[in-house]
Amino acid sequence: MSGILTYALHYEGAFNKNSLGAVSEGAKLAKEIGGEAAVVVVGDPSELSDELCGSLGKYGAAKVYRANAPEGLGAPVVDVMAKVIQDEGYSYALFGGGLLGFEIGAGLTARLNVGVTMEVTEVDAQDGKLVAKRPILQDSAVVDVDYVGEPGVIIGRLNAFDAEESGDATAEVVDVDVQLEEHSTKATMVQRGEQRGADVNIEDAEILVAGGRGLGKAEGFEMCESLAEAMGGAVAATRAVVDAGWYPYAAQIGQTGKTVAPKLYLAAGISGAIQHKVGMQASENIVAINKDPNAPIFEFSDLGVVGDLNKIVPKLAEAVKEKKGG
């Protein structure tokens, strides 16, 4: 059967937004190539009710394969998807953006000896086949990628596919019994989803002042906080500084953090890596302060300021205060 198989990641009783995007996109593409849209979900049976699984029908899935296997790690899902593909014959495996999809997609590539394309921003159906569009080299070019043989593995970029409810259909839920490979049982989750640092709310802010490694040290964030306070906004961060323990995870923007679209996103000491860009590029106005004139962030800023943030940010906070006060 030609068709598209997606994977829906879930946590605390809800499906991941990017997974739902993949389910919607898969349903749309399946229609175009004349095949079935199906989804694999993996986890403890107590977490995966018929109702929850069936609800993927709202996003266009006809069938949901449910397997009792550990959730949150790549290899068990590879085992399940490989079996479903081998037994039922899907032509493509599609993943939303994030992290796990990269690991599962890569595992399938090896297991089935098939092609993979990652960071895909668009998929075109042509003559019953799919062509994946992938930006490369810091988004300076986009390549169209075709697959030799089946299934083709497509790993989307964060937010590339929108989750769209297309109706209120219920998907058929099919339980699959999969014997995990030995190596898939050799990694075990000890703790999942630990929130490091304070629980700050940045999603409702209309103005975000974001800081990156260019702040030099954790204390550098004080400058961002003063500016954010003057502007009436909140403070956001990159993975680099969150990993370094300079700022809370709850403030992280990007591929494994939050997606925001404030009126103003002011980035200080942020290079503009793709994984950060995908979480903030929809902002209405982007201002970047960076001392490196070649920093990628200037490619997608509305206002770029080339200079030392240590000099600029404190003065900017003062000037904003003055302007607002007067």
298 lies in the site for other proteins, by CB under 8 A: yes
212 lies in the site for ligand FAD, by CB under 6 A: yes
138 binds, among other proteins, ligand FAD, none (CB under 5 to 8 A by kind): other proteins
Cα dihedral 62/68/73/79 (nearest 10)? -70
CB 265 within 8 A of CB 283: yes
273 lies in the site for ligand FAD, by CB under 6 A: yes
Q: Work out which of 6, 16, 91, 226 binds other proteins, going by CB under 8 A.
A: 16
305 binds, among other proteins, ligand FAD, none (CB under 5 to 8 A by kind): other proteins
Q: Which letter, b or e, does each residue of 125-142 get, where b requires 16 or more Cβ atoms within 10 Å of its Cβ?
A: eeeeebbbbbbeeebeee
Q: Which is nearer to ligand FAD, 35 or 269 (CB)?
A: 269
Question: Degrees (nearest 5) of the Cα angle 80, 82, 83?
Answer: 65
Q: Work out which of 175, 206, 284, 292 binds ligand FAD, going by CB under 6 A.
A: 292
CB 252 within 8 A of CB 234: no
Name the segment binding other proteins (CB under 8 A); options: 42-50, 86-94, 161-169, 175-183.
175-183
Which residues in 217-256 contact ligand FAD (CB under 6 A)? 238-241, 252-256
Which residues in 189-218 contact other proteins (CB under 8 A)? 189-196, 207
Residue 62: CB minimum distance to other proteins, A: 26
Name the segment binding other proteins (CB under 8 A); options: 21-29, 36-44, 45-53, 292-300.
292-300
* Residue closest to 104 by CA, chosen among 151, 46, 45, 35: 151
Number of residues that bind ligand FAD (CB under 6 A): 29
Helices 100-112 and 74-88, interaxial angle, to 10°?
50
Q: Work out which of 15, 213, 221, 262 binds ligand FAD, going by CB under 6 A.
A: 213
295 binds, among ligand FAD, other proteins, none (CB under 5 to 8 A by kind): ligand FAD
Environment class of 225 (CB within 10 Å of its CB; exposed 0-12, middle 13-18, buried 19+): middle
Residue 319: CB minimum distance to other proteins, A: 5
55 binds, among ligand FAD, other proteins, none (CB under 5 to 8 A by kind): none
- Distance from C-alpha of 124 to C-alpha of 131, rounded to nearest angstrom: 5
Q: Which is nearer to ligand FAD, 178 or 224 (CB)?
A: 224
- Distance from C-alpha of 315 to C-alpha of 184, rounded to nearest angstrom: 54
Environment class of 156 (CB within 10 Å of its CB; exposed 0-12, middle 13-18, buried 19+): buried
- Distance from C-alpha of 186 to C-alpha of 124, rounded to nearest angstrom: 38
Name the segment binding other proteins (CB under 8 A); options: 20-28, 37-45, 57-65, 128-136.
128-136
Rg (CA), the chain: 22
Q: At a CB cut-off of 8 Å and minimum separation 6, what does 186 contact? A: none
Q: Which is nearer to ligand FAD, 63 or 213 (CB)?
A: 213
- Distance from C-alpha of 276 to C-alpha of 73, rounded to nearest angstrom: 23
The widest CA-to-CA distance across the chain, in whole angstroms, is 71
Q: Which is nearer to other proteins, 37 or 104 (CB)?
A: 104
Residue 153: CB minimum distance to other proteins, A: 9
306 binds, among ligand FAD, other proteins, none (CB under 5 to 8 A by kind): other proteins
Instruction: List interacting residues with ligand FAD (CB under 6 A).
Output: 99, 212-214, 238-241, 252-257, 269-271, 273, 275-276, 279, 289-292, 295, 308-310
